[in-house]
């Protein structure tokens, strides 16, 4: 199969592929997703095959309007309506109880709930409208690898496995959406993202659980990223927790006989002597740019170098840093540089 790259001017052609049951990757403000008609079971099955994704890992359904959600979900709560008004379109995914047999088990992982999102990308919203169907959209990458933030990342992983890619340039946020479970009595964040717990609590006026990011080996996850290995490059990532740890981390790197990777903000890169055997990748100036560039940096060392070990900067575990550290910890397998 030849994978064709489409521009936003070619949305009708890309939508026709989705209508025909083909797979088309699409841009969002977070990462690129792998789209298929959410009501076409055969198409959804192809998503799992193309990614090499476990079949009990549920998919997020991307919609262009609230009315589509109401076709499938049980009546929305007042909290859900407030959050939709505040954050859609945007990087917030919400899990709702479904009407009986509303979506195929291939979409929901066999659960009676499903996750819905209204992405903040005009090209993708136009694609969904043109296809006249909601589309599933896991990250458009090989399962377990760093998520794609450009069309080129998608092409690297899935060329020849999918029919098309809608290219709208690099994504703006760089880490996947916040996943909020609204199918239980107390709202719970199952995956942190750009929409923070504090922002959600301010809108709905009630506390949100935040420590439910993992499930056991025999459990079916309600959201992506809770059970299986995610975001991992081929290289081993070591998290450098504090700014004052960098001199020792770089001294250790200098003693290694192999090339090393260093991912850090410009302040760290400028204020420390980077050894000759280390290749730098700038994460920019702050947590916003670091989140946007994290996956791109991991992919850079995977595809363009022979780096086997990467030192990567940590951020404070709050706000957007909560999402960044969630992804970085999974990329590193919870491995931290020890001083």
Decide the pairing of beta strands 135-136 and 60-62: antiparallel
pLDDT at 53: 79
Give percent of the chain above pLDDT 90: 86
Which residue among 182, 204, 226 closes a domain?
A: 204
Nearest to 165 by CA among 4, 274, 54, 311: 4
Is 212 domain-assigned?
A: no
User: Does the annotation flag 113 for ligand binding?
Assistant: yes
Is 29 found in the same domain as 160?
A: yes
- Note whether 282 and 162 are same-domain residues: no
Shared domain for 197 and 243, answered yes or no, is no
21-40: average pLDDT: 98
Same domain for 32 and 102?
yes
The answer to whether 139 is a known ligand-binding residue is yes
Q: How far apart are CA 86 and CA 255, in angstroms?
A: 51
- Averaged pLDDT, 125-152: 96
**What Å distances lie between residue 103 and 25, 44, 114, 132, 284, CA to CA?**
21, 11, 8, 16, 42
- Measure the CA–CA gap between 177 and 82, rounded to whole angstroms: 18
Residues 88 and 175 in one domain: yes
Same domain, 241 and 328: yes
Between 126-130, 207-211, 221-225, 272-276, the lowest mean confidence (pLDDT) is in 221-225
Is 129 annotated as a binding-site member? no
Q: Note whether residue 72 is domain-resident.
A: yes
Residue 46: give the domain boundaries: 4-204
Q: Is the pLDDT assigned to residue 218 strictly greater than 60?
A: no
Please report which confidence band the pLDDT of residue 108 belongs to, taking 50, 70 and 90 as the band edges.
very high
Q: Are residues 146 and 266 in the same domain?
A: no
* Cα distance between residue 181 and residue 337, in whole Å: 34
Cα–Cα distance, 235 to 67 (Å, whole number): 44
Is residue 214 in a domain? no
Average pLDDT over residues 271-275: 95
Q: Would you say residue 171 lies in a domain?
A: yes
Average per-residue pLDDT for the chain: 93
Based on the domain organization, do 181 and 257 belong to the same domain? no
- What pTM value is reported for the model? 0.92
In a domain, 242, yes or no: yes
Q: Is 186 exposed, middle or buried (0-12, 13-18, 19+ CB in 10 A)?
A: exposed
Residues 199 and 262 grouped into a single domain: no
117 is in an annotated binding site: yes
Which of 185, 204, 223 represents a domain boundary (last residue)? 204
Task: Report the CATH number that the domain containing residue 266 is assigned in CATH.
Answer: 3.40.50.11030
48 is in an annotated binding site: no
> Would you say 147 is a known binding-site residue?
yes
Count of domains observed in the chain: 2
Is residue 277, in this structure, part of any structural domain at all? Answer: yes
Answer whether residue 142 is part of any domain: yes
Q: Are residues 41 and 166 in the same domain?
A: yes
Q: Tell me: the pLDDT tens digits for 185-195?
A: 999 999 999 99
Can you tell me the mean pLDDT for 165-189? 96
- CATH number reported for the structural domain that contains residue 124 in this entry: 3.90.870.10
Q: Is residue 152 assigned to a domain?
A: yes
- Kindly state the average pLDDT of the residues 90-95: 98
* Length of the chain in terms of residues written: 339
Contact yes or no for 262/281 (Cβ under 8 A): yes
Whether residue 212 has pLDDT greater than 80: no
List the structure tokens of 120: 């903040």
23 and 158 both lie in a single domain: yes
Residue 243 annotated as binding site: no
Residue 251 shares a structural domain with residue 191: no
């Amino acid at each position: 199969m030849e994978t064709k790259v489409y521009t936003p001017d070619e949305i009708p052609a890309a939508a026709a592929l989705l209508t025909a049951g083909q797979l088309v990757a699409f841009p969002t403000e977070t990462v690129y997703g792998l789209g298929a008609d959410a009501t076409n079971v055969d198409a959804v099955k192809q998503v799992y095959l193309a990614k090499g994704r476990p079949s009990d890992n549920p998919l997020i359904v991307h919609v262009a309007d609230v009315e589509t959600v109401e076709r499938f979900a049980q009546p929305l709560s007042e909290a859900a309506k407030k959050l939709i008004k505040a954050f859609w379109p945007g990087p917030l995914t919400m899990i709702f109880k479904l009407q009986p047999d509303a979506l195929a088990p291939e979409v929901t992982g066999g659960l009676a709930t499903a996750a819905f999102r209204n992405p903040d990308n005009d090209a993708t919203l136009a694609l969904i409208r043109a296809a006249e169907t909601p589309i599933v959209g896991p990250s458009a990458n090989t399962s377990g690898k760093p998520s794609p933030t450009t069309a080129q990342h998608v092409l690297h992983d899935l060329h020849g496995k999918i029919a098309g890619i809608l290219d709208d340039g690099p994504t703006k946020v760089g880490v996947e959406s916040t996943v909020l479970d609204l199918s239980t009595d107390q709202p719970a964040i199952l995956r942190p993202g750009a929409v923070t717990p504090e922002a959600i609590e301010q809108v709905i006026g009630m506390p949100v659980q935040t420590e439910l990011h993992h499930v056991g080996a025999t459990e079916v996850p309600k959201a992506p990223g809770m059970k299986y290995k995610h975001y991992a490059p081929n290289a081993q990532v070591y998290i450098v927790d504090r700014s004052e740890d960098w001199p020792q981390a770089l001294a250790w790197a200098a003693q290694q006989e192999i090339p090393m990777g260093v991912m850090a903000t410009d302040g760290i890169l400028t204020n420390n002597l980077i050894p000759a055997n280390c290749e730098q990748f700038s994460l920019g100036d702050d947590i916003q740019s670091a989140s946007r560039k994290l996956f791109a940096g991991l992919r850079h060392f995977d595809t363009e170098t022979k780096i086997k070990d990467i030192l990567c900067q940590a951020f404070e575990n709050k706000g957007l840093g909560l999402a960044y550290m969630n992804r970085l910890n999974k990329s590193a397998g919870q491995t931290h540089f020890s001083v």
